[in-house]
Every structure is written in structure tokens, then in C-alpha cells.
Amino acid sequence: MQLSLIKDGISIENYINELIVKVKIASTANLSQWKKHSSGVVSKIEPNWSNKVIAIGASTGGTEAILTILRELPRNMPGIVIVQHMPPVFTKIYAQRLNNLVALNVKEAQTGDIVQQGSVLIAPGDKHMKIEKLGSTYRVVCYEGEKVNGHCPSVDVLFNSVAKKVGKDAIGVILTGMGYDGAKGLLSMKRSGAKTIGQDEKSSVIYGMPRVAFNLGAVDKQVSLDSIPQVICSFLDEG
């Protein structure tokens, strides 16, 4: 099968090879001491945040950025939904690896999965993911579709659904990545009352997606990667 080029000039072959190396390195580590551990960024946390949703979008450089954020969060965080631009199959491997490294329960999403406290759902590499409300709970729907902004899954698809279904009870985070996917969706989230965060230029591998979102006025707070967990928690404390 001929490997095509990603829009921004990085070949899929190089992308996959880099990811394989990272997975192999990680697989040699003793992970038992890491699972169910966090640094305790939040010392005071509400017992029930079932109505809250945190949505994260990332591309180039996002695999490490997402890990940096998730490993600082405790188990009883609100449900988290993530789109990371990544080929099929590798999203499942990535989710499994994250699940061994962070306190939260991480899995590749499937249609019908409930967005609940302590859980992280990562969009499959070949499907869009959106949120739907079912009674008092939220669930995800994963489906095949045309690329949006050159991507499937698309951050904009997720963010736009969160804006419509969750509104002011959501927090949106846009991380490092080329292009502009997620910028307009983050703006929709902000306009619906959600709190929004953008990664700053200095800590981004590629300051593309966060830059476009910031220039659109979609970002409430632009901060370094290391500061994002604390900002998420401060937004939650505000209610």
C-alpha cells in the first residue's frame, strides 16, 4: 500500500515509525508504580462532576502533551474526551499505554461509551467522535465520515458537538498541532459558555492549531503545557 503524505509535509511512514519507537520504549518500563497515581494537582475536588465534560484536541506533538496533562489529574476528574490526529490502530495502542501511565481510566472510544468521572475516551483513528446527551448522561458516537479540515477524526467535529450538547458545563483545550482543526469548534464552545484553554507558543511543538484558535478569540486562557492541568482545575472550582 502506498503511503501518502500528511497535509503538512510529514509522511505517514515517518509518523508511524516514530510512534512505534515510543511504544517500544514505553513497553520496557515497569508501569505498576504509575497506574492510579497522580501528583495531586487538585487537593479539593467536588464529589460529583457528572455534568461536566473536558474536551481536548491535538495533532503534531500532542501524544506527549496529552500525557503531560493527564498524568497530573486525579481519578475523579470529570469525563474527558480527546481527538488526537493519529492513524487507525495506533489510537488503540496509544490509549492502552496512557491507561497504564495515568490515574484515569483511558480507552479508545466506541459508540455508546458513557462520558463519566474518571474516564478518558480517545477517538478512533479512522472515525469522527461526537457527544450526545442521553437523559442526564453523555455518551459518544463514533462514525465514519468525510475528512473535516483534512482529518478524521476531526477536533472541530468533537468540539462543535460539545458546544451544542454540553455548553457551559464544558472545558475545551486545544494543544500543539499543525493547521487549524479545532479552532472554530473551540470558538463555538466559548460562545456556548464553555471555558477554553490554548497551549502557548513556547511549549508547543507546532504552534498552529492553538495560534489560529487564539487569533479567532476562542481562547479564554493561553498558558504553557505544564500549567494547563492547574487551569483546568481552577475552571472547575469556579463551577
Preceding peptide of 210 cis, ω within 30°: no
Residue among 156, 181, 188, 203 flagged as catalytic: 181
59 is catalytic: yes
DSSP string over 8-67: TS-BHHHHHHHHHHHHHHHHTS--TTTTT----S-SS--S--TT-EEEEEE-TTHHHHHH
Using N-to-C axis directions, what is the helix angle for 183-191 and 155-165, rounded to 10°?
Answer: 10
Which residue intervals of the chain are DSSP H helices?
12-27, 62-70, 90-101, 155-165, 183-191, 209-215, 228-238
Residue among 38, 85, 200, 204 flagged as catalytic: 85
Residue among 38, 59, 192, 203 flagged as catalytic: 59
| Type of residue found at 76 | N
192 is catalytic: no
| Type of residue found at 2 | Q
Instruction: Return d(Cα 18, Cα 25) in angstroms, integer.
Output: 11
Q: Which residues contact 30 (CB under 8 A, 6 or more apart)?
A: none
> What Cα–Cα distance (Å) separates residue 174 from each residue in 2, 17, 134?
31, 25, 26
Residues catalogued as catalytic: 59, 85, 181
